[in-house]
Amino acid sequence: MIELRGKAVADALKEKMKTFLDQVDELNRPKLAIVRVGERPDDLAYERMVLKNCGAIGLPVQVEAMSEAVATEELIGTIQRLNDDVAVQGILMFRPLPKHIDEQSVIESVAVEKDVDCMNPENLQLRMVSDERAVAPCTPEAVMRILEHYGYELEGKNVVIVNRSTVIGRPLAIMMMEKNATVTICHSRTRNLAEITSRADIVVTGVGKARFFGPEYFNENSVVIDIGINFDEKGSCGDVDYEAVAPKVAAITPVPGGVGTVTSSVLLSHVLPQAFY
Amino acid sequence: MIELRGKAVADALKEKMKTFLDQVDELNRPKLAIVRVGERPDDLAYERMVLKNCGAIGLPVQVEAMSEAVATEELIGTIQRLNDDVAVQGILMFRPLPKHIDEQSVIESVAVEKDVDCMNPENLQLRMVSDERAVAPCTPEAVMRILEHYGYELEGKNVVIVNRSTVIGRPLAIMMMEKNATVTICHSRTRNLAEITSRADIVVTGVGKARFFGPEYFNENSVVIDIGINFDEKGSCGDVDYEAVAPKVAAITPVPGGVGTVTSSVLLSHVLPQAFY
């Protein structure tokens, strides 16, 4: 069994970004703008991580910290200024926003091409029709990068995705199809789920139920990508019962340490020119 | 074997539209605007058919016939006038347009909510994320209406669609998923296609190859929906070898006389208020 650890994928991606950025004069490098409203501890922790990662690869970053009392119009004004700023190539805004703000309008004000976290629904829509202007949602792209990093070809493979959401399952199905995989999307109403998943070459699980998938859902050649992040008495775990399943499949991502470990690097890669990623 | 004839589906839909329109005062009925550039025989024949169908159900229609020499700007001007005309609820423009016209810009100028033929790519994009503002592409919707008319429940069913295009396979997969079907999308790079299709409850074929699918692709309980329209020495035929397959499956659409027979009625239904369809 091969453990498909996310760290190796994220490290390789960061190294590639650093090499790219090292070749660009510091003044001409693409720049990330972080938009933070208020000072929620979660947001501050995430911001510190992003700043650290940006520093490590040499990606310039500016933080637009706004008062928790900011009005919707003022926040949109800030985003429009960043949209128009030719020095800024990516905009990352922390959510959720305070309740008095019209979050949907704010999200839709982010320029599609600078929307590195794929918040603007237009990006998801463009991705679904394989429009090359689209920025991909980070979790599905992380799945693709893990498979690519560990050398799994998708051409002609049977892939089962257990998630039909517009942010995960649907765009991931399209991305897999673009690589010529044959894709089946399963969900809570699927009958004979174990029969379907156990026939597949690659299974992606995203159901949000701790240790839902036991060994009966897989075969000895299964490549298992676990998108789930669940919490129980022992800490965080995936949708797959890792201890029971790992010894019986060909490869599996751990949780924690799998897909989730790759998404923040994927997000940063979206600040770089499209030719990079 | 049940032959899933399109005419019964189209007739039922027309009857439903007629009943709806009969209850609306003629001056307040929704209206279809046809935009025709030049006088191509194909367009004129299609126009006559649409006018006849509109007449039969009592749907008002106006034709905007423009010179073949019309400039892109003038054509877009006409469409914008129709977009702004509160009496017009649907716009149908015949294509292809003459070569000197920027067809893409013209298509994108059609207001999303009046785009009854789902020409504007924004409609396809919205459909893919199940946005309720979207108008569905006519062929996938015709497939859904045939299955509904003949009483095939989709909940929990295994559906295989052999087409991954943005206008057919992808939106149809989404529409099937919304009805809780488990959907597999196959295509030219799929391995073991017959193995996959013969396991499914419902198979939708759209490969554009005359009589490509023989009996080995199905089982005795298969419901087969053939989207293909191909031409050979004997006339038009589908992707399925009808004569060989029909006796061995549960139900199948003929070609001609199947899906294609339903699409023009579906298009007209998009002129009616969304609550109707």
> A12 lies in a domain?
no
Same domain, A70 and A107: yes
Which residue among B156, B170, B173 places its CB closest to the CB of A190? B156
**Using 50, 70 and 90 to split pLDDT, how confident is the model at B274?**
confident
Mark yes or no for CB contact B128/A170 under 8 Å.
yes
In this prediction, residue A233 carries a pLDDT of: 83
A126 touches chain B (CB under 8 A): yes
**Using 50, 70 and 90 to split pLDDT, how confident is the model at B237?**
very high
Task: Say whether B259 sits in a helix, a strand or coil.
Answer: coil
Q: Please tell me the least confidently modeled range out of B25-29, B69-73, B80-84.
A: B25-29
CATH classification of the domain holding B188: 3.40.50.720
A26 compared with A100, residue with greater pLDDT: A100
What residue type is B6 in one-letter code?
A: G
Mark yes or no for CB contact B170/A166 under 8 Å.
no
Which residue among B125, B155, B156 places its CB closest to the CB of A129? B125
Q: In sequence order, which residues have a C-beta less than 8 Å from that of residue A145 and are 6 or more positions away? A: A9, A13, A262, A266
Contact (CB, 8 A) for A129 and A171: no
B196 touches chain A (CB under 8 A): yes
> A7 lies in a domain?
no
On the question of pLDDT at A149 being above 80, the answer is yes
Same domain, B78 and B149: no
- The three-point CA angle A66-A70-A73 to 5° equals 115
- Most B CBs within 10 A among A133, A188, A189, hence the mutation to make, goes to A189
Alpha helices in B85-192 (DSSP H): 103-109, 121-128, 138-149, 169-178
> B123 lies in a domain?
no
Beta strands of A131-234 (E only): which ranges?
158-162, 182-186, 202-205, 223-226, 230-232
Same domain, A86 and A189: no
Rounded Cα gap, residues A57 and B275, in angstroms: 53
On the question of pLDDT at A234 being above 90, the answer is no
Same domain, A165 and A228: yes
Contact (CB, 8 A) for A253 and A8: no
Rounded Cα gap, residues B68 and B81, in angstroms: 19
On the question of pLDDT at B52 being above 90, the answer is yes
On the question of pLDDT at B275 being above 80, the answer is no
All residues of chain B having their beta carbon less than 8 Å from the beta carbon of residue A190 are 156, 182
> A253 lies in a domain?
yes
Distances (CA, A) of A180 to A176, A263, A273: 7, 23, 25
Q: In sequence order, which residues have a C-beta less than 8 Å from that of residue A268 and are 6 or more positions away? A: A14, A17, A32, A50, A53, A54, A57, A59, A116
Rounded Cα gap, residues A148 and A239, in angstroms: 22
Structure tokens at B245: 């397959």
Which of A70, A141, A79, A65 lies closest to A108 in space, CA to CA? A79
**Average confidence (pLDDT) over A28-45:** 97
**Average confidence (pLDDT) over A58-64:** 97
Q: How close B153 comes to chain A (CA, Å)? A: 13
Same domain, A86 and A146: no
Same domain, B257 and B142: yes
**Using 50, 70 and 90 to split pLDDT, how confident is the model at B74?**
very high
Of A82, A117, A152, the residue at which a domain comes to its end is A117
A180 touches chain B (CB under 8 A): yes
- Percent of chain A's residues with pLDDT above 90: 96
What are the pLDDT digits (tens) for A240-257?
A: 999 999 999 999 999 999
- The three-point CA angle A202-A206-A211 to 5° equals 95
User: ipTM score of the complex?
Assistant: 0.92
Tally of domains within chain B = 2
**Using 50, 70 and 90 to split pLDDT, how confident is the model at A138?**
very high
Structure tokens at B131: 């946005």
CATH classification of the domain holding A84: 3.40.50.10860
**Using 50, 70 and 90 to split pLDDT, how confident is the model at A232?**
confident
> A236 lies in a domain?
yes
pTM of the model: 0.95
What are the pLDDT digits (tens) for B169-210?
A: 999 999 999 999 999 999 999 999 999 999 999 999 999 999
For the residues of B148-176, what is the DSSP string, one character each? HHTT---TT-EEEEE---TTTHHHHHHHH
What residue type is B219 in one-letter code?
A: N
In this prediction, residue B144 carries a pLDDT of: 98
What are the pLDDT digits (tens) for A173-214?
A: 999 999 999 999 999 999 999 999 999 999 999 999 999 999
Distances (CA, A) of A89 to A28, A83, A270, B115, B149: 11, 8, 9, 34, 51
> A267 lies in a domain?
no
Contact (CB, 8 A) for A101 and A92: no
On the question of pLDDT at B62 being above 80, the answer is yes
Same domain, A234 and A199: yes
> A123 lies in a domain?
no
Rounded Cα gap, residues A33 and A37, in angstroms: 13
All residues of chain A having their beta carbon less than 8 Å from the beta carbon of residue B168 are none
Q: In sequence order, which residues have a C-beta less than 8 Å from that of residue B192 and are 6 or more positions away? A: none
- Most B CBs within 10 A among A104, A120, A125, hence the mutation to make, goes to A125
Same domain, A145 and A246: yes
On the question of pLDDT at A274 being above 90, the answer is no
Round the average pLDDT of chain A to a whole number and report it: 96
On the question of pLDDT at A275 being above 90, the answer is no
Mark yes or no for CB contact A182/B180 under 8 Å.
no
Same domain, B142 and B113: no
On the question of pLDDT at B277 being above 80, the answer is no
All residues of chain A having their beta carbon less than 8 Å from the beta carbon of residue B104 are none
In this prediction, residue B232 carries a pLDDT of: 82
Same domain, A113 and A143: no
- Percent of chain B's residues with pLDDT above 90: 96
Same domain, B107 and B168: no
In this prediction, residue B3 carries a pLDDT of: 98
Same domain, B92 and B169: no
CA closest to B178 among chain A residues? A164
Structure tokens at A149: 């990093």
> A203 lies in a domain?
yes
| Domain enclosing residue A194, as ranges | 138-260
